[in-house]
Amino acid sequence: MNKVMSTLLWPVIAIVGAFSFAALALGRGETVSAVWLVTAAVCVYFIAYRFYSKFIADKVLRLDDTRQTPAERHNDGMDYVPTNRWVLFGHHFAAIAGAGPLVGPVLAAQMGFLPGTLWILVGVVLAGAVQDFIVLFASVRRDGKSLGEMIKMELGPTAGSLALVGVLAIMIIILAVLSLVVVKALTGSPWGLFTIAATIPIALIMGVYMRIIRPGRVAEASVIGVALLMTALIYGRTVANDPTWGPMFTLDGPQLAWALILYGAVASSLPVWLMLAPRDYLSTFLKIGTIVALAIGIYYVAPPLAMPATTRFIDGTGPVFSGALFPFLFITIACGSVSGFHALISSGTTPKMIEKESHMRLIGFGGMLMESFVAIMALTAACVLDPGIYFAMNAPSAVIGTTAANAAQVISSWGFAITPEMINQTAVDIGENSILSRAGGAPTLAVGMAKILAQALGGKSMEAFWYHFAILFEALFILTAVDAGTRVGRFMIQDMLGHVYKPMGNTEFLPANLVGTGLCVAMWGYFLYQGVIDPLGGINTLWQLFGVGNQMLAGIALLLCTSVLVKMKRERYVWVTLVPTAWLLITTLTAGVEKIFHSDPRIGFVALARKFSEAAAEGKVLAPAKSIEEMQRVAFNNYLDAVVCGFFVLLVLAMCVFTIKICMQALKQAKPTAHEIPPLAGVDAAPA
């Protein structure tokens, strides 16, 4: 019976998928419903999961349920717990889904909906899901070891240390770029800032409740937290319109940057139970709830895609980010296709909770498909907006000016007809003063979501509420990430400093903690501030730096996976990891080198630095710098970005050399040489 169902079901899914793609492909010149886009994606996921992940599970990795998993071996009822696979799927998904899949696709929408969609789908099936799955597998077979430890085990201690420095550098960039997204979303938005600020006392109340008033009652605390959060969201409008309170919550970019830097330093020094844990619960609830609501909303409203399939900006002249489709699309959309950061999660808590090896297929591969689905929805939300509105929100003020009239004129000249009235009306609809130049993905996505959710629930009058709800949802988990990331960064810095001067490595030693926290915050804060005053809007620089770093990390993780396969003597199937590795290395090395050396100052760091330093030498001041000192600072920042980018390029090349050396050695061996925990005979073969 099951077999009949299966033979009937898969052709049906294939046909629905093909039909959806046909609707997308043939609908030239007329608008296509977003439902086709989402349906096509879902069909691809199902087919990839059913066939490709099964192939990897059975043939390439040969998952073995008689082997003990770390959760079985160390079952302690606390950290190591064999977990139901659907529950763990949800848990893993909540851990990997962050702001990444929401921001990248929105930025990439400037090239039209098709390039982004294709890269998200092809990338996730052949690269992203494969990486997450195999890293999870490798970690489970190594007793839940982390990515850094596994690189040390399989590729040697030098490679391990190098990778750790790389991870720290990428984390610093991520923290800076995520904070920049928040700054861009909250600049001059008292309603938004009030609700985000309110999450701090709300989290503190929850923390005290869970720890002191009613220890361990997370559900009760969460109900209180969510209720307070919604109250803050509703009354935010009143606060914003208040003559005394409104201006107090209206901050400009640099002020917000300083506020975030201060927040990062203080929040990461508080005990975890007081703010981080309660806020993390709040953001997880909101995250899952919003994603489900958006999926239902898209199917219920079935909005048409207003953005064309491709725009003229695939040639690299786009206002949102500069650089041609190859290679820059492939570093702009990272999470959603393939994200190196997931390798850290897949070798973090998840392997400690795997009940059986066969479950890794759903959790590793399936979890990443789910994340990719979020990216597709973010892309959809950006593409249902009028393209004129999209560009008004995402182009820097250096290009479109600071007034609606000017912006409308520039954007219309690109071929996306828009009037100043439409721009102003959108701002009024969402309850903001201005929508111009709010690059960073979050506000665009929020407007798209507000349009979809308001049509499904509440009508036009609710648009402002949904917009601020969406901003809250994104800012909440970005701030959680800033808090948690600063802590992790501090531990990594202390660990490194501990090798130089022993007491610095002691995490119980207060001065060492302060130095570690200070260094971490100073580093990401520097990049954040630089992004806020950047002439091209900051996102243009930082998101691409993050993209290069993140994809380099993915390349490193896939190199590790490749070496693991070769060491297991599965070289027959090594193409499974070698093909995505090669593609990632080609795109990111090209992008990295172009970001450094490209002669166009909108793309190359060195070219932009030279332009500003030469102008400064002649005594000229280029906008938006206001003095010669600022000119020199812009030049210095760009040289620094070039150095960071160069570091990523060299790092990944070094990892390539290590991997090739190790693989050559392993190929000469007759027996597997991977450092797995050997299967135990007898004790673990208990039937399910």
Residues between 621 and 640 with contacts to other proteins, criterion CB under 8 A: none
Closest distance to other proteins from the beta carbon of 364 (Å): 14
- For the chain, the distance separating the N- and C-terminal CA atoms, rounded to the nearest angstrom, is 23
* C-alpha to C-alpha distance for 100 and 118, rounded to whole angstroms: 18
Minimum CB separation from other proteins for residue 65, in Å? 11
- Among 77, 54, 69, 91, residue whose Cα is nearest residue 356: 69
Q: Are 512 and 548 in contact (CB under 8 A)?
A: no
Instruction: Give the H/E segment covering residue 33.
Output: strand 32-33
Tokens of 150: 């596994």
Q: Which is nearer to other proteins, 90 or 304 (CB)?
A: 90
**Least CB distance from residue 511 to other proteins, whole Å?**
19
Rule CB under 8 A: choose which of 215, 243, 459, 619 binds other proteins: 215
- 97 vs 126, which CB is nearer to other proteins? 97
The helix (H) or strand (E) run that includes residue 32 is strand 32-33
Q: Which of residues 658-687 bind other proteins (CB under 8 A)?
A: 675, 677, 680, 683-684, 686-687
Q: Which is nearer to other proteins, 176 or 645 (CB)?
A: 176
Residues between 261 and 320 with contacts to other proteins, criterion CB under 8 A: 271-273, 276-277, 280-281, 284-285
Q: Does 50 sit near other proteins (CB under 8 A)? A: no
Smallest separation (angstroms) from other proteins to the CB of 159: 15
| Nearest to 353, CA basis, from 618, 553, 77, 630 | 77
User: In the set 18, 55, 58, 75, which binds other proteins (CB under 8 A)?
Assistant: 75
> Over 439-457, what HEC string results?
CCCHHHHHHHHHHHHHHHC
Q: Return the C-alpha torsion angle 52, 566, 350, 152, nearest 10.
A: -160
Q: Does 90 bind other proteins (CB under 8 A)?
A: yes
Restricted to residues 438-497, the positions that interact with other proteins (CB under 8 A) are 480-481, 484-485, 487-488, 491
Residue in 29, 77, 243, 459 binding other proteins, rule: CB under 8 A: 77
Report the residue number, 78 or 670, with the smaller CB distance to other proteins. 78
Question: According to CB under 8 A, which residues from 140 to 169 bind other proteins?
Answer: 142-143, 146, 153, 167
Q: Is the peptide bond before 105 cis (omega within 30 degrees of 0)?
A: no
Smallest distance, other proteins to C-beta of residue 376, A:
17
Residue 202 CB, nearest distance to other proteins (Å)? 17
Q: Among residue numbers 324 through 343, which ones bind other proteins (CB under 8 A)?
A: 334-335, 339, 341-342
> 580: cis peptide before it, omega within 30°?
no
Verify binding: residue 132, other proteins, rule CB under 8 A: no
Report how far residue 44's alpha carbon sits from residue 13's, in angstroms, rounded to the nearest whole number. 9
Q: For the purposes of burial, counting CB atoms within 10 Å of the CB of 70, is it exposed (0-12), middle (13-18) or buried (19 or more)?
A: buried
Which string of x and - marks every residue 514-553 that binds other proteins (by CB under 8 A)?
--------------------------------x---x---
| Cβ 398 vs Cβ 622: under 8 Å | no
**Residue 194 or 341: which CB sits closer to other proteins?**
341
Smallest separation, CB 273 to other proteins (Å): 5
* CB closer to other proteins, 245 vs 491: 491
Residues that contact other proteins, how many (by CB under 8 A) = 79
Q: Which residue has the tokens 């975890």?
A: 272
Q: Pick between residue 39 and residue 222 the one whose CB is nearest to other proteins.
A: 222
Nearest distance from residue 75's CB to other proteins, in Å? 5
Smallest gap from residue 625 Cβ to other proteins (A): 30
Residue 87 touches other proteins, criterion: CB under 8 A: yes
Our measurement of the distance from residue 605's CA atom to the centroid of its chain's CA atoms, rounded to an integer in Å, reads: 23
Closest separation in Å from C-beta 145 to other proteins = 9
> Applying CB under 8 A, which of residues 20, 39, 83, 337 lies at the interface with other proteins?
83
Q: Phi first, then psi: what are they for 284, rounded to 5°?
A: -65, -45
- Count Cβ atoms within 10 A of the Cβ of residue 305 and give its class: 0-12 exposed, 13-18 middle, 19 or more buried: buried
Residue 200 found at the interface with other proteins (CB under 8 A): no
Decide: helix, strand or coil at residue 304: strand
Check binding of 174 to other proteins (CB under 8 A).
yes
Q: Which stretch binds other proteins (CB under 8 A): 69-77, 120-128, 445-453, 632-640?
A: 69-77
Closer to other proteins by Cβ: residue 182 or 239: 182
Which parts of 596-625 interact with other proteins (CB under 8 A)?
none
**Interacting residues with other proteins between 347 and 376 (CB under 8 A):** 347-349, 353, 355
Say which residue the tokens 């993390």 belong to.
280
Interface residue with other proteins among 72, 220, 571, 630 (CB under 8 A) is 72
Please report where in the chains the tokens 């009058």 appear, as a residue: 461
Buried b (16+ CB within 10 A) or exposed e, 544-582: bbbbbbbbbbbbbbbbbbbbbbbbbebeeebebbbebbe
- 305 pairs with which residues across the strands? 32
| Chosen residue from 34, 35, 37, 96 binding other proteins by CB under 8 A | 96
* Footprint (CB under 8 A) of other proteins, residues 216-245: 216, 218-219
Residue 659 contacts residue 553 (beta carbons within 8 Å)? no
Q: Residue 44's Cα: distance from chain center in Å?
A: 22
Contact region with other proteins (CB under 8 A), list: 71-79, 247-255, 256-264, 642-650:
71-79
Backbone angles phi, psi at 33, to 5 degrees: -70, 140
Binding to other proteins, residues 496-515 (CB under 8 A): 507
Least distance in angstroms from the C-beta of 320 to other proteins = 18
Exposed, middle or buried by CB within 10 Å (0-12, 13-18, 19+), for 172?
A: buried
In the set 88, 400, 561, 635, which binds other proteins (CB under 8 A)?
A: 88
Nearest distance in Å: CB 2, other proteins: 21
Residue 393 CB, shortest distance to other proteins, in Å, is 21
Compute the distance between CA of residue 631 and CA of residue 625 in angstroms, rounded to an integer. 6
Q: Minimal distance in Å, beta carbon 12 to other proteins?
A: 30
User: What distance lies between CA 444 and its chain's CA centroid?
Assistant: 16
Of 617 and 680, CB closest to other proteins: 680
φ/ψ of 203, rounded to 5, equals -65, -40
Closest alpha carbon to 36 in 47, 46, 25: 25
Taking the CA atoms of residue 375, residue 379, residue 384 and residue 385 in that order, the dihedral angle to the nearest 10 degrees is 120
Q: Which helix (H) or strand (E) holds 305?
A: strand 304-305
For other proteins, the closer CB: 215 or 243: 215
Q: How far is the CB of 295 from other proteins (least distance, A)?
A: 17
Please choose, out of 90-98, 428-436, 510-518, 661-669, the segment that lies near other proteins by the rule CB under 8 A.
Answer: 90-98
